[in-house]
Amino acid sequence: MAKRTVRDTEVEGKTVLVRVDFNVPMDIKTGVITDDSRIRAALPTITYLLDHKAKVILCSHLGRPDGRVVEGLRMTPVAQRLSQLVDLPVSTVSDCIGTAVEKAADNLKGGEILLLENIRFYPQEEANDPSFAQALAKPADIYVDDAFGTAHRAHASTVGVAKYLPAIAGFLMEKELEALSSILSTPEHPFGALLGGAKVSDKIGLIQNILDKVDILLIGGGMAATFLKVQGYEVGLSLVEADKQELAHQLIEAAKQNGASLFLPVDVVVSDSISEQATGEVVPIARIPPNKYIADIGHQTVELFSQQIRQCRTVFWNGPMGVYEIPRFAQGTKALVELLANLKATTIIGGGSTAEIVEEMKLTHKMTHVSTGGGASLKFLQGKSLPGVAVLLDREH
């Protein structure tokens, strides 16, 4: 059921607490933000509230302070960058609950912004402590969740506050839910899924949930080693999840039964080590040396996967095809990203490292949707309920 959004709610003159995901990459020594895409992603909701004369209180976590104050993880640099983007002052306060916050909130006027301090400075945030959630909600009239990237976490700022305030979705949350829901319910066919990353275990639920929906399933990255192993291939020193081999075999059979075409690498880049100094060579999968690691997909696999992707009208991609952090092992991933960017189809990119790759290649604008939530998007596509979404009011409420 569609969730109620800020568009469906009277916000003028109201104090609105907005959970955003401003967990941006930042040099904690200098306070320099190296990628502001998460801040930009929240701008439609923030500007809408400002234009409608709401008093806007933003809260977010930054980094992993583990429930203690870490000076290098204060929100001040984020406030400065946000101020530049909205071309308005952004007030800050050195706490996220308590008297100082309540006073700052009282002083807000319609169309003004207050950014609270890092909410993970308190261990009660991740513990979803009711008292902390109530204190966080106290200055506000309405709660807006626009942080899809944390929606799979049952924290005080994503779930707890909804017990004390009417909870609705921001535009980014709405966009994420609509984009991901569409590939589960109404994908245009042929529908292809390109999956990579290190482990099969990270993607099992996703594969199981989309097998009856996809026409083409392409598996690369480290997780391909387990699938190749169960088909009798030598995979060298590559990680094989022994306890997932039987499941990998079952998934291969299930794909056949569902009429989905499953493709694995036909050649790979192998290396003596996974390091910046390592060199690689391309070998067919039947000739993987027992003393080497699989580090990327090979040229023939790139071409095979490309041929399949070009047939698709909808493509979902999650997980690199190789050890992307090392440039010489990133070529397979980059080739397929460039293909997706120029594909005349609906292209949905999973969050996390997958989204970071697209952003790094400056191709975000060429994709239909790039999710801001890695773990959240995977859990959603597994068919599981996200705590931070479940607490939001339905539009018909």
Among residues 38, 229, 244, 334, which one is catalytic? 38
3-state helix, strand, coil in the chain (%, to 5): 40, 15, 45
Q: Please identify which residue in the block is written with the tokens 């930042």.
A: 26
Closest to 338 in 3D by CA, of 311, 309, 373: 309
CB within 8 A of 181, min separation 6: which ones? none
Among residues 53, 138, 199, 328, which one is catalytic? 199
CB atoms within 10 A of CB 64: 11
The helix-helix angle for 353-360 and 374-381 (nearest 10°) equals 120
d(CA 130, CA 372): 27
375 is catalytic: yes
199 is catalytic: yes
Neighbour-count burial for 250-287, b at 16+ CB within 10 Å, e otherwise: ebbebbeeeebebbbbbbbbbbbebeeebebeebebee
d(CA 149, CA 179): 14
d(CA 23, CA 347): 25
38 is catalytic: yes
**Across the strands, what pairs with 280?**
271
Among residues 31, 110, 111, 375, which one is catalytic? 375
Among residues 351, 352, 374, 388, which one is catalytic? 352
138 is catalytic: no
The helix-helix angle for 43-51 and 76-86 (nearest 10°) equals 60
Catalytically active residues are: 38, 199, 352, 375
